[in-house]
Amino acid sequence: MPANAFNGRTDYGIGLGLRVPHYSHILEKKPVVGWFEIISENFMCDGGRPLEVLDRILEQYRVVQHGVSMYFGSADKPDREHLKRLKALVKRTNTPWLSDHLCWGSVDGTYTHDLLPMPYTLAAAKRTAAKIRRVRDFLEVPICVENVSSYAEFHVSEMTEWEFLSEVVERADCGILLDVNNIYVSSRNHGFNPYDYLNGVPHHRVGQMHIAGHTKFEKYLLDTHDHPVLDPVWKLYAEATRLCGVTATLLEWDDRIPSFDEVHDEALKANEFIADAKTARKKSPSPRSRAA
């Protein structure tokens, strides 16, 4: 069941991140693409070429907004000016849902521009859920929160990451943008089983998925978004799709970006796994029921 309340009851299929090196190709060739994900912050400006490009894209394509600076996990209150700009963009794009990360990244108005892992405590979950609710009420659009890749864990954590994610989204009554690559990267960095993570989240709340490439270093994996998707991530994606149903899926490729066609072809590989997942799902339905 791909459409749910957390993705505006849409069925968007496979999408691509809208990236600067591809603008001219997209505008000139008008390739067939299910949808584009934009980084909201790149278009929260007052004019100029960013908005011109966006408006031209909106004439032809469905667009979903993805943010990198809301910092639901930061103690700071949401910045009013930020929210106003974001809401103006929501109205412009008519995004059916909006996503940002389950992380922190700002302190007293100073921004790190990073997606920092949170301590997995009940207090943090409650505070974060309250912030998500406030933002959603202001923006009047469904919100999905994305699990981040991480390289550190805190002594004070009281639960696993997937328990924390579940706690937050249940309390906020919001959706999940399940980043399968991030689950894999974090599982290798922290030594947990990524399939435990997949099994541990409320599948009916998954409104979107991310896939991406990462880089292997000697002692850890780094989430670089500069490679094709690696095989273990595709396998995890297939299982995620079996558990959650075929869900709007986006390939992230943010660095060393190859041609549009190469990125598009990589994204469309997801279709193979979707087909497999559909077959597997018929044979063995997910043990967790999905909400209506």
Residues found near other proteins in the complex (CB under 8 A):
17, 19-20, 23, 39, 41-42, 44-53, 66, 68-69, 79, 82, 101, 107, 109-116, 146, 148-149, 151-156, 179, 182, 189-191, 212, 219-220, 222-226, 252, 254-255
Q: Minimal distance in Å, beta carbon 196 to other proteins?
A: 17
| Cβ distance to other proteins smaller for residue 17 or 96 | 17
Q: Minimal distance in Å, beta carbon 110 to other proteins?
A: 5
Site of tokens 């934009």? 38
Main-chain phi, psi angles of 93, to 5 degrees: -85, -20
Exposed, middle or buried: residue 90 (CB in 10 Å: 0-12, 13-18, 19+)? middle
Q: Minimal distance in Å, beta carbon 30 to other proteins?
A: 19
Torsion of CA 255, 260, 262, 264, to 10 degrees: 100
Q: Minimal distance in Å, beta carbon 242 to other proteins?
A: 24
Is the torsion defined by CA of 170, 174, 178, 183 positive or negative? Answer: negative
| Cβ distance to other proteins smaller for residue 50 or 200 | 50
Q: Minimal distance in Å, beta carbon 217 to other proteins?
A: 10
The token pair at 288 is: 């967790």
Count of residues in the chain: 292
The token pair at 234 is: 């595709």
Buried b (16+ CB within 10 A) or exposed e, 183-201: bbbbbbbeebebeebbebb
Q: Minimal distance in Å, beta carbon 43 to other proteins?
A: 9
- Please, how many CA atoms are within 13 Å of residue 194, restricted to the half-sphere of its CB? 23
- Please, how many CA atoms are within 13 Å of residue 108, restricted to the half-sphere of its CB? 0
| Cβ distance to other proteins smaller for residue 157 or 286 | 157
Q: Minimal distance in Å, beta carbon 281 to other proteins?
A: 28
| Cβ distance to other proteins smaller for residue 190 or 290 | 190
| Cβ distance to other proteins smaller for residue 3 or 116 | 116
Q: Which element (helix H / strand E) includes 190?
A: helix 180-190
| Cβ distance to other proteins smaller for residue 23 or 195 | 23
Count of C-beta atoms within a 10 Å radius of residue 258: 14
| Cβ distance to other proteins smaller for residue 113 or 283 | 113
